[in-house]
Chains A and B, each alone.
Chain A
Amino acid sequence: MPIDVAAIRTEFPTLAREVRGERLVYLDSAATSQTPEAVLAAMERYYRTSRSNVHRGVYLLAEEATDAYEGARTALARLVGADPRGVVFTKNATEACNLIAYGYVRRTLGPGDALLCTVMEHHANMVPFVHAANDRGFEVRYVPVTEDGHLDLAEAARLVADGRVRFAAFTHVSNTLGTINDVPGLAALVRDANPDAVVHVDGTQAVPHLPVDVAALGVDSYALTGHKMFGPTGIGALVADPALLERMEPMLTGGEMIRDVTLTGATWNDVPHRFEAGTPMIAEAAGLTAAVAFLEELGPDAVRAHEVELGATFLAALADADGITVHGPTTMAERGAAISFSVDGVHPHDVGAMLDARGVCVRVGHHCCKPLMRELGINATVRASLHVYNDADDLEPLLDGLAAARAMFAVGRSA
């Protein structure tokens, strides 16, 4: 079924509010999405009726809380085509990337080894590995980005050819350029020369927008975050091959994650519980289950189709507008609907202020991709990002604000 934007908007309370006297035009879902009523209701239900701690409780409320929490694991696994035993809940995608960095990379890679990363990564999928490399003495190699915003696969092939790559980390969809990377292609390229390499993918910007099947992608581990997929803040996941989790050490230790404890040591619980120390985010898990149901009801294919169509409208309008340069791939077939651009002669922060006055929320800055920004030779961009509640009526206020920003700030420059 195609996306019915008018109906969908009524499910998001924030979208009903005004900002500075104008209709809220929310173009920042790549930073965080809005929350539908169903997610709010699921979280409230836990707090109002089932509030108790998970696991080991011998009373009804505790059973309900456990079901709510473990139900999220099953729901998320189903959404992304994974084994529930491979779903580890974390605070967010950043923690998921750190979990694999601490639990696997730091314990496995050392001098003489190499880790493949890319220049287009969000800091979350780069810094934990660079930090590990600096402590452990292995090498980090970066796949560069081509002029048209793609990973340079020819260079990637060269970077992995010596067979020393033991871990690869790259993003499924770039949060800044919008690029959808060829995950199976790059994974195969890495494994051709490095059969034992572990392939970790940052799926943060993919799961909310595309059909994702981690088994079909052929990756070993996949990070995602709940708050960009209509879920609450405070919950994300590392979705990994259970066999890989078995080879990993926990990052945090304490309650919940143990099998037995003595005064001198402890043995670990089964995976994935081994990686979930302490009382987890129960209400957030309940909310995430509702978010998954919301996505499934819309259908990931329909979500993608809506964004392809709307994204094309935005890209065409921005290409036509005076003084706007879009970064990244130019057709929706190659990209998601996070659209970064520069406005000639106007600093992104001033663009943001002009848009804010019109109720338009965009993100300005480096988008946590400083190495990529340096590569592009700029300090910051404006980013408008779309989701299911956006429609063509969100374009006009954006273009209006951009034209006003150009008129106010772009002095002495030709239109």
Chain B
Amino acid sequence: MGELDALYEEIILDHYRSPRNRAPGLSGEDAQVHHSNPLCGDELDVRIRIRDGVLDGLAYDGDGCSISLASASAMSVAVLGRPVEDVLGLVEEFRLMMHGEQPGRADDLGDSMVFEGVARFPVRVKCALLGWMALRDAIDTFRRGDDANDVTHEDQHE
């Protein structure tokens, strides 16, 4: 079961069992997005609050597999309190890492670094990315002057 250990590292399980910043709402919310990934039936809401160009608040909630929920949890810890531009930079680092590239900001990614092993499981990459893509979309939504958006990631075959 060595393969499985790479997918379900202890840190991932810890974020899954004791999620950080998971909540159904966020006071003073500026934007909220709903992203779904029909492959595994994941549904994720990400809410953000931006103050003076800084990501000052983030809450996520939803129904998803351990990888998607743990990834959103680890992400929330990594990005909270950072300037929005910096957050977008981290999103890009994480995205590249999930596509098998060496991430540039290991220290800033923190616990999110453990998802590097998930890149070896192609069907789970989307799960790990869901929260991050939702966060990027939430920031884009806010910058467009909107306050909500809905995105469905591509579908499966049977």
Contacts and interface: CB of A to CB of B under 8 A. Distances in A.
Nearest to A363: B158
Q: Is the interface of B mostly helix, strand, loop or mixed?
A: mixed
Contact of B16 (A348, A357, A409): A409
A348 B41 contact: yes
A299 interface: no
Interface in A354-383: 354, 357, 363-368, 370, 373, 378-380
A379 B41 contact: yes
Given A350-B66, A408-B8, A365 B40 contact: yes
Interface in A28-75: 31
A372 to B, nearest CB: 13
Given A366-B41, A380-B41, A408-B8, A349 B3 contact: no
Contact of B158 (A354, A365, A408): A365
A357 B3 contact: yes
A365 B41 CA distance: 6
Contact of A347 (B4, B17, B38, B66): B66
A315 interface: no
A353 B120 CA distance: 13
Contact of A365 (B39, B63, B64): B39
Contacts of A353: 4, 7-8, 121, 124
B43 interface: yes
A349 B40 contact: yes
B38 A366 contact: yes
A82 B41 CA distance: 40
A365 B127 contact: no
Given A357-B1, A365-B39, 10 more contacts: A348-B40, A348-B65, A349-B124, A350-B67, A353-B4, A353-B8, A353-B121, A380-B40, A380-B41, A411-B16
B156 A347 contact: no
A260 to B, nearest CB: 40
B13 interface: yes
A409 B66 contact: yes
A31 B65 contact: no
Interface string A11-22: 000000000100
Interface in A382-415: 408-409, 411-412
A80 B64 CA distance: 42
A167 to B, nearest CB: 25
Contacts of A354: 4
A-B CB proximity, top 5 nearest? A379-B41, A380-B41, A349-B65, A349-B40, A347-B65
Interface residues of A, number: 26
B158 A31 contact: yes
Interface in B81-133: 121, 124, 127
Interface in B37-66: 38-43, 63-66
Nearest to A354: B4
Contacts of B156: 365-366
A368 B158 contact: yes
Contact of A379 (B1, B8, B43): B43
A92 to B, nearest CB: 11
Contacts of B38: 365-366, 370
B13 A364 contact: no
Interface string B1-24: 101100110000100110000000
A17 B83 CA distance: 52
B4 A350 contact: no
Contacts of B124: 349, 353
Given A364-B40, A365-B40, A366-B38, A20 B17 contact: no
B43 to A, nearest CB: 7
Given A31-B158, A411-B17, A349 B127 contact: yes
A99 B30 CA distance: 49
A175 B158 CA distance: 11
Interface in B121-157: 121, 124, 127, 156
Contacts of B1: 357
Given A363-B158, A365-B158, A409-B16, A347 B8 contact: no
Contacts of B4: 353-354, 357
B124 to A, nearest CB: 7
Nearest to B8: A408
A380 to B, nearest CB: 3
A364 B123 CA distance: 12
25 contacts: A20-B3, A122-B158, A175-B158, A347-B42, A347-B64, A347-B66, A349-B39, A349-B40, A349-B65, A350-B67, A353-B7, A353-B8, A353-B121, A357-B3, A357-B4, A363-B158, A365-B39, A365-B156, A365-B158, A379-B42, A379-B43, A380-B40, A380-B41, A408-B13, A411-B17
Contacts of B66: 347, 350, 409
A374 to B, nearest CB: 11
A365 B1 CA distance: 23
Nearest to B121: A353
Nearest to A383: B158
